[in-house]
């Protein structure tokens, strides 16, 4: 059980870091725009 808890804690740390990065409104808007496909810098 301790191994499962340690693995869960490691995944929680990774998920937390990702969610912190996505919390930036500009990054989130960029990701939402890119869902439809790649764009050039000029777009």
Whole-angstrom Cα distance, residue 41 to residue 7? 39
What is the predicted pLDDT for the residue at 43? Answer: 72
Please indicate, yes or no, if residue 43 is contained in any of the structural domains: no
Whole-angstrom Cα distance, residue 31 to residue 23? 11
- Per the structure, the count of domains in the chain is 1
pLDDT digits (tens, 9 = 90+) for 1-43: 588 888 899 899 999 998 998 899 998 898 888 888 887 888 7
Domain ranges, residue 18: 1-35
Whole-angstrom Cα distance, residue 18 to residue 24? 11
Model pTM above 0.75 = no
What is the predicted pLDDT for the residue at 1? Answer: 57
What is the predicted pLDDT for the residue at 11? Answer: 93
Whole-angstrom Cα distance, residue 28 to residue 22? 6
3-state secondary structure the chain: CHHHHHHHHHHHHHHHHHHHHHCCHHHHHHHHHHCCCCCCCCC
Please indicate, yes or no, if residue 41 is contained in any of the structural domains: no
């Amino acid at each position: 059980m301790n191994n499962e808890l340690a693995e869960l804690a490691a995944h929680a740390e990774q998920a937390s870091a990702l969610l912190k990065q996505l919390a930036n409104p500009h990054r989130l808007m960029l990701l939402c725009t890119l869902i439809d496909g790649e764009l050039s810098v000029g777009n």
